[in-house]
Structure 1
Amino acid sequence: MFVLKKLENPKRPLLGPNVKTLKFWGLLLPKNVYMKYFYIIMHLMVTAFTATEYVDVWFIRNDLNLLLNNLKITMLATMSVVKVTTFLYWQKHWKDIIEYVTRADLAQRATDDVIKNDLIKKFTKYCRKITYFYWSLMFTTVVIVIFHPLFKFFLSQSYRENVKEGNEDYLQVVSSWVPFNKSTIQGYLAASIWQSYASIYGGGWITSFDSNAMVIMVFFRAELEMLKIDCANIFGTEWNPVSDKVAFERLKDCHRRHVELVKYSRLFDACLSPIMLLYMFVCSVMLCVTAYQITSETSAMQRFLTTEYLVFGVAQLFIYCWHSNDVYFASLRLSEGPYESTWWCRHVSHRKNLFILTAQFSRVVVFSAGPFTKLTVATFISILKGAYSYYTLLSKSQTK
Structure 2
Amino acid sequence: MELKEEWILPDAVYENPLLKRTLLGLRYYGLLLGQSQPYKKAHCFRGMVFTVSMILFNCTQYVDLWQVWGSVSDMTANAATTLLFTTTIFRIIFFYFHRARFNSIIQAAHTGIERILGDGWDDEREIVASNVRYLSRLAVVFWSCALVTANMMCVYSLVLYLMYEEAPVSSPIAGQPSSSSNEPNGTTLQQYPTPILRSWYPATEGKDKHFLEIYLIQLYIMYVGQLIVPSWHMFMVTLMIYGRTECSVLNHRLCFLDRYHKPDQTTPKTTPNPDCVDNEERRTLIIDCIKRQANVVAFTRELEQLTRAAVFLDFVVFSVLLCALLFEASMTTSGVQVFIDVCYITTMTAILFLYYWHANEIQACVSFGS
TM-score (norm: length of structure 2): 0.81
Q: What is the aligned partner in structure 2 of residue 328 from structure 1?
A: 363
- Is 2:216 the counterpart of 1:208? no
Q: What is the aligned partner in structure 2 of residue 343 from structure 1?
A: none
Partners of 2:63 and 2:219 lie apart in 1 by 18
Higher relative contact order, chain-length normalized (CA < 8 Å, sep 6+): 2
The gaps in structure 1 that reach 5 residues or longer are 1-7, 336-400
Secondary structure of the corresponding residue to residue 110 of structure 1: helix
- Is 2:17 the counterpart of 1:16? no
After superposition, residues 1-400 of structure 1 pair within 5 angstroms as: 11-29=15-33, 32-153=40-161, 161=167, 167=179, 168-181=191-204, 183=206, 187-234=210-257, 239-335=274-370
Q: Alpha-carbon deviation of 1:210? A: 0.6
Q: Alpha-carbon deviation of 1:145? A: 2.1
Closer, same or farther in 2 for the Cα pair 1:56/1:220, shift >3 Å? same
Secondary structure of the corresponding residue to residue 52 of structure 1: helix
How many residues of Structure 1 are paired with residues of Structure 2 in the alignment?
Answer: 326
In structure 2, what residue type is equivalent to 1:278? Answer: L
Secondary structure of the corresponding residue to residue 15 of structure 2: coil
Secondary structure of the corresponding residue to residue 327 of structure 2: helix
Q: What is the aligned partner in structure 2 of residue 377 from structure 1?
A: none
Q: Alpha-carbon deviation of 1:217? A: 0.8
Partners of 1:10 and 1:59 lie apart in 2 by 46
Closer, same or farther in 2 for the Cα pair 1:247/1:134, shift >3 Å? same
Partners of 1:320 and 1:229 lie apart in 2 by 24
The alignment's C-alpha RMSD in Å is 2.5
Q: Alpha-carbon deviation of 1:162? A: 8.1
Moved more, 293-302 or 317-326: 293-302
Q: Alpha-carbon deviation of 1:301? A: 2.4
Closer, same or farther in 2 for the Cα pair 1:280/1:10, shift >3 Å? closer
Partners of 1:106 and 1:164 lie apart in 2 by 69
Secondary structure of the corresponding residue to residue 27 of structure 1: coil
Partners of 2:239 and 2:169 lie apart in 1 by 48
Partners of 1:16 and 1:39 lie apart in 2 by 19
Closer, same or farther in 2 for the Cα pair 1:171/1:313, shift >3 Å? same
TM-score (norm: length of structure 1): 0.75
The gaps in structure 2 that reach 5 residues or longer are 1-11, 172-177, 180-190, 260-271
